[in-house]
Amino acid sequence: MVEPKATYVAAFFFGAPRDFSKVSAEAKVFAERVAPQVPGLIDVSLLRNEESTQLLVVSRWENKEAWSRSRWNEQMGKIEADLVESAKLFDVRSFVPI
């Protein structure tokens, strides 16, 4: 199988979530169960720092339009809202391949 090439990457940073284990567990469930059903989403990577005080969610998309359409996905919206509400810091950045 040929892997689709990502043309858009979204990186969500969550700093100092109140309950890191709960937040990271919710993000993991999303990545394993919901993400594979989202059209245009190639994959999701979940990363934490060694102190478990920061969470980085990196999603690779077929294109920006697929990411934009995903903003209307109720399951994605709920997990993102939970992550944002639990964090003291939040930032989102987008990237495109060079």
CATH of the domain at 54: 3.30.70.100
Per-residue pLDDT of the chain (98 residues; tens, 9 = 90+): 455 688 999 999 998 777 788 888 888 988 898 889 999 999 999 999 999 889 999 999 999 999 999 989 888 888 888 888 888 889 999 999 88
Widest distance between CA atoms in the chain: 41
- In order of 4, 11, 22, 24, 36, the CA distances from 39 in angstroms are 12, 18, 26, 23, 8
* Within a domain: 3: no
Q: How far is CA 42 from the centre of its chain?
A: 12
The pLDDT of residue 83 is 84
Domain of residue 82, residue span: 8-95
Domain count, the chain: 1
In degrees rounded to 5, what are phi and psi of residue 96? Answer: -130, 150
Contact 48, 24 (CB under 8 A): yes
* Within a domain: 2: no
The pLDDT of residue 64 is 95
Q: What is the pTM of this model?
A: 0.87
The pLDDT of residue 4 is 63
